Chain A
């Protein structure tokens, strides 16, 4: 997992609630990414940020929001607008061309 941490490891959300997933890195990487992984499937890009105070939508940004106020931190908020949020969420940061991943947060909607 390198120098990337995600918390919490498991998260439960009730219908209609917003929840925020934490991602921190101490690798001094400029670029950070959020992915969603569903069972038996590959990773899909939600949002990415190439520099502080800047971020871009990925392929499945609807129902999610992010912020990038610090280089080390890239939190992801799963809003009530996301209709099927139960999934494994992975944060990554990029050094040169290679992305390195955190341990993931498993979000379950009750």
Chain B
């Protein structure tokens, strides 16, 4: 079946630089996308979401971009800090799949911030 995937399993960036984490999705009908951050041994933490009728959404130090033409999602983190080191997951929801709003997750990208 269709699933969400990630381009790179690991990403290392210098502290203070901007980070870009990418995600490819295969279901062009997906309606809603979420980025989660998961630190080691902890549960995923909601970062930011975006609906399919948008192409950009900004939060505090984070921006999510959605390119429906190529079915690509990215998370940009500005001025990356050591506390940003974690695994980042994207997830998608297809509303027509039912009211359960089941998420389809990718396997994650490990972001490491170098001093």
Q: A97-B32, A98-B34 are in contact. Are A50 and B108 (CB under 8 A)?
A: no
State which of B34, B43, B89, B101 has its C-beta within 8 Å of the C-beta of A31. Answer: B101
Alpha-carbon distance between A58 and B98 when the two chains are bound, in angstroms: 13
CB-based contact B105/A48 at 8 Å: no
Q: Is A90 an interface residue (CB 8 A)?
A: yes
From 20 to 67 in chain B, residues with beta carbon under 8 angstroms from any chain A beta carbon are: 32, 34, 36, 41-46, 49
Q: Is B70 an interface residue (CB 8 A)?
A: no
Q: Which of A6, A90, A98 has the most CB of B within 10 A?
A: A98
Question: What is the total number of residues of chain B having a CB less than 8 Å from a CB of chain A?
Answer: 22
CB-based contact B43/A48 at 8 Å: no
Alpha-carbon distance between A56 and B34 when the two chains are bound, in angstroms: 23
CB-based contact A42/B42 at 8 Å: no
> What is the CB-to-nearest-CB distance from A106 to chain B, in angstroms, rounded to a whole number?
7
Alpha-carbon distance between A6 and B89 when the two chains are bound, in angstroms: 21
Q: Is B86 an interface residue (CB 8 A)?
A: no
Q: A31-B101, A45-B102, A50-B100 are in contact. Are A104 and B108 (CB under 8 A)?
A: no
CB-based contact B107/A99 at 8 Å: no
CB-based contact A40/B107 at 8 Å: yes
Q: Which of B43, B89, B95 has the most CB of A within 10 A?
A: B43
CB-based contact B105/A43 at 8 Å: yes
Contacts of A102 on B, CB cut-off 8 Å? 43
Q: Is A74 an interface residue (CB 8 A)?
A: no
Q: Is B103 an interface residue (CB 8 A)?
A: yes
Q: Which residue of B lies closest to A49 (CB)?
A: B100
Q: Which residues of A contact B (CB under 8 A)?
A: 1, 4, 6, 31, 40-43, 45, 48, 50, 56, 58, 90, 94, 97-104, 106
Q: A101-B45, A104-B41 are in contact. List 10 more A-B contacts (CB 8 A).
A: A41-B107, A42-B105, A42-B106, A43-B44, A43-B89, A48-B100, A90-B43, A98-B49, A103-B43, A104-B42
